[in-house]
Amino acid sequence: MELKLLKTTEKRYQLLNQMDIYSLEDIVQYYPYRYDIIEETYPSVNDEHIIIEAHVISATKIFFRGKMSRMTFEVEDRYHQQYQVTIFNRHFLRQYLKLNAVITIIGKCQDNRITASDIKIKPIDEIKGIHPIYSIKEGMTQKSFQQYVKKALMMLNGNIESYVPEEMIIKHQLIHKDIALWNIHFPESQNDIKQSLKFLKYEEFLKFQLTMQFIKQRRSCEVGIEKKFEIEKLQSFILSLPFPLTKDQQNVVKEIVDDLRKPQMMYRFLQGDVGSGKTVVSAIALYANYLAGYQGALMAPTEILARQHYQTLISFFKDCNIKIALLTGSLSLKEKDIMYQQIREGEVDIIVGTHALFQKKVQYHQLGFVITDEQHRFGVEQRKAIKNKGNQVDFLIMSATPIPRTLAISMYGDMEVSTIKTMPRGRLPVQTQFIQSSSMKPILKHLKEYLAGGGQCYVICPLVEDSETLDARSASQIAEAMQKYFQNDYRVGLLHGQMKDDEKDEIMKKFQQNDIQILVSTTVVEVGVDVKNANMMVIYNAERFGMSQLHQLRGRIGRGDQQAYCYMMSSSTSKDAIERLKYMEKSQDGFEISMYDLQLRGPGEVLGNRQSGVPTFLIADILKDFPVLQVARDDALYLIDEYRKGLGYQNLIHKIEENLKVNNEYVD
Ligand code: ADP
Ligand code: MG
C-alpha cells in the first residue's frame, strides 16, 4: 500500500525514502535493531545500572561551560532513600524538575550519587515496558516512527502476505505473521520478541530457499546439451599434466565432467582454498567441453589474472591442438575486431578474458561452457549477460573463499557445490608473523638475506596515494623508499589500481621474469597471480584488511615447494585488530579463516553483496540462525516437491515465481 496513506509531511516522506521505505509493507518490515527495556531496579549503593522512580526534594543547580551544562539536584525514592542526581546537557529539563515532581531516573549509581543518562518526567508505571529502537535518519524521531509503524500495521491489517503455509506453522509451532509483525514492533514481553523473531527469521529463510529451489528445479527441467566426448582423451590429457591431481581435484573433476555429460544445464559452485589448485580443474573442464565440440569461456576479474590464466592454459594445452584467445579491455579496437571475428567464426576454442567477454559485440560460436573465477567480483547481471550469449550454457563458478559445505549448500541453494579441501602435496604452510610496527626495520635483516638467496618479495600496502586522514603508508611512498635503500642491488616495481592495464601487465611481466625483485603493490595482486619464485610477503597496515583478504594475499606465496614467509605489520593498538592478526599467525586454513571473518564482518563484506549472488537478509543471520536456515531448506525442498506432484502449494509457488520476475537478484 502507498506510503501516502500515512498522511504525513513531504519532509517525512523524504526521510522515509532515505531509509529505503517506499510502501506501508516496507515500514512494517523495518525492524527495530534493539529494545530498551524499562523495568524498575532496586539499587544498592553501588549499582552499575539503575532505573528508579523518585521525587525531587531540592532546587536544581546548573553549571555551564560553553554550551555544555551540568545539572544537579536531590531526590528521594519510594523507600525513603535519598540521592544526589547529576545529569549533563539537559538543563532544559529544569522547568519540569520542580519540588515534589515525580520522575524516573535512568543511570548509574555509586554511593547514593546517580549519574543519570536519561530522566523522564513521568512515574515509572507510565514508561515501564519494552521500547523498540529503530535506526532512523536525523529529522525523524523514534516516537513518530513508531506511530507510522502502528498506522501501517493497522491499515495493512490482515493483508500482509505470508510465505509460511499453515502446515509449517503447526509443525514448528509458529505464531502467525500478523501477530509476529505486531509483536516485533510492540512487544509486551521478551517472549513476544522471541516468538516474533522465530517466525520472521524462518519466513525469510523459507522464502529464500523456496526461490533457490524453484530456480533449481526449473533449470533442471530445461533441456541442456549432452556433451559427448571420448573419456579416454580426457584421461590422457590429465595424465599429460605436469603433476598428478589431488584426490579432491579428481573428485571435483568427476562431478563437473558428469554434469557436462548430462542433458541438464550445469550450474555448479566450485570452492577451494587459495592455492588448492582450481585452475587446473577449470582447464580439464574446458578441455572436456572442447572435446565435445563446443566453445568455452573463462572469465577472470582482473586483466592480470586473465593474462595469467591464459598463459597457464597455453602451457597445459601445449600438446593439444586448441586455439586459445585472450580478450581484455586493453586490446586496440582493431585487435578486438579481429578477435571478435575469430570468436564468431569458431576459429578459437577457448576465450579467456575479463568483463570484455560479455560485451555486446562479442558473439560466440557454439558457446557451451562458461567458467567465472573469483565469484564475488562478478555481479549477477554480468553473469546473466555472458550466460545468455550461448544456448543452454553450462556454468561453473569458482570461489577462493571457501566455507563449510553445509553452509555453502544453503547459501548457494540453486547451485550444486563442489569443494576442494586438501592442498597439493609438499606444500609448506606459509610462516606468518605479526609484527607490531609500522616500519620494515624488524624484518629488514631477513628480507636482505632472503633477497640475497635469489628470492623475490611482495610488499603490500592498502593505499596508493598518501592521505593525511588515513594513517596508512602509501604504495608509491614505500616503493620510493625501498628503491633508495636497495639502490643498485635490487629493482623495485610499483603496481596499483590506478595504473593503465598495459602498465600493470608490463610490471607483472617483469616480476614474473625476475627483472623486478621487490614488487610494491596495492591489493591488485590479491587474486590469483602465481610467481613461484616469490616467497616472501610484507603487508603494511595489515589491520586494514579483512582476514579472508589477508589469507588471499598470503596465498600468493608458498605456491611451490619452498618455505614462504609472510609478515603482517600493524601498529594498531585495537584489541580486535591484534587478535585477528594473531589468529592469522596460527591458522592456515581458509575455511576456518572465512568462518571467523564471516562472524566478524558478515557475508556481504566477506563473500560479496547480493549483486554478486550472496543473499542478504533483513532479520535473519546466516551464521547465528544457521539451524533455522537448514530447517527452511528441508521444508522448501518438501514444499516444492509436493507442488510438483500436484499436491498443493500452487499459490505459494506462484508467489515465488512472480517475485522472481520483478526481482533481479538471481541468475535464473
Ligand atoms: P587456486 O586454487 O588458488 O586458483 P591454482 O590453481 O593457482 O590455485 O594452483 C596453485 C598452484 O598449485 C599452481 O602453481 C598449480 O600449478 C599448483 N598445483 C595445482 N594442482 C596441483 C597438484 N595436484 N599437484 C601439485 N601442484 C599443483
Ligand atoms: Mg585461482
Q: Which pLDDT score, from 0 to 100, does residue 665 have?
A: 66
Please indicate whether residue 268, judged by its CB atom, sits closer than 6 Å to ligand 1. Answer: no
Decide if pLDDT at 592 tops 90: yes
Report the mean per-residue pLDDT for the chain. Answer: 89
Residue nearest to atom 15 of ligand 1 (CA): 277
Ligand 1, atom nearest to 555 Cα: 3
Cα of 176 from ligand 2 centre, angstroms: 47
Q: Which pLDDT score, from 0 to 100, does residue 363 have?
A: 92
- Average the pLDDT over 73-93 and give the result: 93
Please indicate whether residue 278, judged by its CB atom, sits closer than 6 Å to ligand 1. Answer: yes
Q: Which pLDDT score, from 0 to 100, does residue 149 have?
A: 95
Nearest ligand, CA of residue 425? Answer: 1
Q: Which pLDDT score, from 0 to 100, does residue 315 have?
A: 93
Local confidence band at 218 (pLDDT 50, 70, 90 cut-offs):
confident
Q: What is the pLDDT of residues 599-636, one digit of tens each?
A: 888 887 788 766 666 777 888 888 899 999 999 999 99
Q: What is the pLDDT of residues 442-459, one digit of tens each?
A: 999 999 999 999 999 999
Residue listed under C-alpha cell 521525587: 55
**Long-range CB contacts (< 8 A, 24+ apart) of 233-239?**
233/291, 234/284, 234/287, 234/288, 234/291, 237/284, 237/287, 237/320, 238/284
Please indicate whether residue 400, judged by its CB atom, sits closer than 6 Å to ligand 1. Answer: yes
Cα of 411 from ligand 1 centre, angstroms: 26
Cα of 32 from ligand 2 centre, angstroms: 41
Asked whether the beta carbons of 132 and 182 are under 8 A apart, the reply is no
Ligand 1, atom nearest to 274 Cα: 3
Q: Which pLDDT score, from 0 to 100, does residue 661 have?
A: 83
Cα of 283 from ligand 1 centre, angstroms: 12
Cα of 543 from ligand 2 centre, angstroms: 24
Q: What is the pLDDT of residues 636-653, one digit of tens each?
A: 999 999 999 988 899 999
Please indicate whether residue 283, judged by its CB atom, sits closer than 6 Å to ligand 1. Answer: no
Cα of 188 from ligand 1 centre, angstroms: 58
Q: Where are the domains of the chain?
A: 40-127, 231-420, 431-587
Local confidence band at 225 (pLDDT 50, 70, 90 cut-offs):
confident
As to burial, measured by CB atoms within 10 angstroms (0-12 exposed, 13-18 middle, 19+ buried), residue 284 is buried
Q: Which of 269, 276, 280, 554 to mutate to test the pocket of ligand 1 (most atoms within 8 A of CB)?
A: 280
Q: Which of 238, 243, 270 to mutate to test the pocket of ligand 1 (most atoms within 8 A of CB)?
A: 243
Please indicate whether residue 249, judged by its CB atom, sits closer than 6 Å to ligand 1. Answer: yes
Residue nearest to atom 9 of ligand 1 (CA): 277
Decide if pLDDT at 104 tops 90: yes
Measured CA to CA, the distance from residue 428 to residue 474 in angstroms comes to 31
Please indicate whether residue 531, judged by its CB atom, sits closer than 6 Å to ligand 1. Answer: no
Please indicate whether residue 245, judged by its CB atom, sits closer than 6 Å to ligand 1. Answer: yes
Q: Between these two residues, 468 and 647, which has the higher pLDDT value?
A: 647
Q: Over pLDDT 70: what percentage of the chain?
A: 94
Q: Where are the alpha helices (DSSP H) in 416-562?
A: 441-452, 475-486, 501-512, 547-554
Decide if pLDDT at 464 tops 70: no
Q: Which pLDDT score, from 0 to 100, does residue 610 have?
A: 60
Q: What is the pLDDT of residues 353-373, one digit of tens each?
A: 988 888 888 999 999 999 998
The edge-to-edge listing of strands for the beta sheet with 324-327 is 324-327, 350-353, 295-299, 367-372, 394-399, 267-272, 416-420
- Give the best-scoring range by mean pLDDT among 144-158, 337-351, 465-479: 337-351
Please indicate whether residue 277, judged by its CB atom, sits closer than 6 Å to ligand 1. Answer: yes
Residue nearest to atom 5 of ligand 1 (CA): 277
Local confidence band at 468 (pLDDT 50, 70, 90 cut-offs):
very low
Please indicate whether residue 315, judged by its CB atom, sits closer than 6 Å to ligand 1. Answer: no
What separation in angstroms does the CA of 643 have from each of 215, 216, 316, 385?
Answer: 14, 14, 47, 31
Measured CA to CA, the distance from residue 608 to residue 237 in angstroms comes to 35
Q: What is the pLDDT of residues 299-324, one digit of tens each?
A: 998 888 888 899 999 999 998 889 99
Q: Which pLDDT score, from 0 to 100, does residue 501 have?
A: 74
Architecture of domain 40-127: Beta Barrel (2.40)
- Give the best-scoring range by mean pLDDT among 52-61, 151-160, 501-510, 642-651: 52-61
Q: Which pLDDT score, from 0 to 100, does residue 559 have?
A: 81
Local confidence band at 378 (pLDDT 50, 70, 90 cut-offs):
low
**CA-wise closest residue to 602 among 589, 591, 615:** 615
Q: Over pLDDT 90: what percentage of the chain?
A: 60
Decide if pLDDT at 461 tops 90: no
As to burial, measured by CB atoms within 10 angstroms (0-12 exposed, 13-18 middle, 19+ buried), residue 589 is middle
Ligand 1, atom nearest to 244 Cα: 23
Q: Which pLDDT score, from 0 to 100, does residue 463 have?
A: 66
Cα of 113 from ligand 2 centre, angstroms: 62
Residue nearest to atom 12 of ligand 1 (CA): 277
3-state secondary structure of 534: strand
Q: Which of 530, 554, 556, 557 to mutate to test the pocket of ligand 1 (most atoms within 8 A of CB)?
A: 530
- Average the pLDDT over 393-405 and give the result: 90
Local confidence band at 1 (pLDDT 50, 70, 90 cut-offs):
confident
Cα of 237 from ligand 1 centre, angstroms: 16
CATH 1.10.3720.10 at 431-587, yes or no: no
3-state secondary structure of 68: strand
Local confidence band at 469 (pLDDT 50, 70, 90 cut-offs):
very low
- Average the pLDDT over 517-544 and give the result: 83
Decide if pLDDT at 44 tops 70: no
Instruction: Name which of 46-50, 222-226, 269-273, 292-296 the model is least confident about.
Output: 46-50
Q: Is there a shared CATH topology between the 231-420 domain and the 431-587 domain?
A: yes
3-state secondary structure of 617: coil
Please indicate whether residue 558, judged by its CB atom, sits closer than 6 Å to ligand 1. Answer: no
Measured CA to CA, the distance from residue 596 to residue 126 in angstroms comes to 44
Ligand 1, atom nearest to 276 Cα: 2
Please indicate whether residue 272, judged by its CB atom, sits closer than 6 Å to ligand 1. Answer: yes
Question: Which DSSP helix (H) or strand (E) runs through 284?
Answer: helix 278-291
Distance of CA 217 to the CA centre of its chain: 26
Cα of 398 from ligand 2 centre, angstroms: 8
Architecture of domain 231-420: 3-Layer(aba) Sandwich (3.40)
Please indicate whether residue 530, judged by its CB atom, sits closer than 6 Å to ligand 1. Answer: yes
Q: Which of 249, 276, 284, 527 to mutate to test the pocket of ligand 1 (most atoms within 8 A of CB)?
A: 276
Measured CA to CA, the distance from residue 254 to residue 630 in angstroms comes to 27
